[in-house]
A and B are shown apart, each in its own frame.
Chain A
Amino acid sequence: MLHERFLEAGTRLFAISIDSSERNAAMVEKLLLPFAYLSDPDRTEVIGPYGLADPKDVRNIALPAVVLVTPAAEEAFRFVSRDFAERLPEEKILDQAVNLGLQPTTQERPLTANAQPGPRSLSAEQLRIYYRGARFAALAMGLRHAHFSDEIKNDSKAYVAEMDRYTAAIEQLMSRSPHSI
């Protein structure tokens, strides 16, 4: 699994959003996340100081981004997505972690308390349908507008690939816990 490969590279994973710890707990339980999910509701602790509050969103939620921090507290790598639909392929992030040349590490599975999903939270099955719909919409738009520029064609291909990865991940999740989600 991908998380284990990051641990092999000496890197632990931590998710961060503006949501409450209760909503984050619900996400951990729903997606069976093997890492902690941190809450910065006012964006004053890390989202703002790290320059990752979305200026285009009235709620100033976090920009989709990853920041790799070394054990010496140095920033080794950062990728900030252009929008909610863009995520760097996980293998490219893993390459950055591997390049640090660290010894393997371990990470305890996160415990949860008072899990409360948000009002618009989707079940795993709903996410699977969403990813498939998004995939075909991106494919159609890419085909329709490919003649305009290579950038549009490449963006479409990248997003289709992203949705395929997410669909595979959610289907694997559903096969592991069909009764809880």
Chain B
Amino acid sequence: MVADFTVVDQEGKPWSLSKNLDAAALLIFLRGDW
């Protein structure tokens, strides 16, 4: 089982993986803005 995590979204609001798994989630890791 993957680790749950809570971060901040682009609106500045908390976002948790566990609260967003009513569907599959593709996490796209990026180096940063370009």
Q: Which residues of A contact B (CB under 8 A)?
A: 6, 9-19, 21-28, 36-40, 45-47, 49-50, 52, 54, 61-76, 84, 93, 97, 100, 102, 105, 110-114, 117-118, 120-122, 127
Contacts and interface: CB of A to CB of B under 8 A. Distances in A.
B27 A14 contact: yes
A61 B17 CA distance: 20
A37 B22 CA distance: 18
A38 B8 contact: yes
Given A12-B20, A38-B7, A27 B12 contact: no
Nearest to B21: A71
A15 B12 CA distance: 14
A19 B21 contact: no
Interface in B1-34: 1-12, 15, 17-18, 20-34
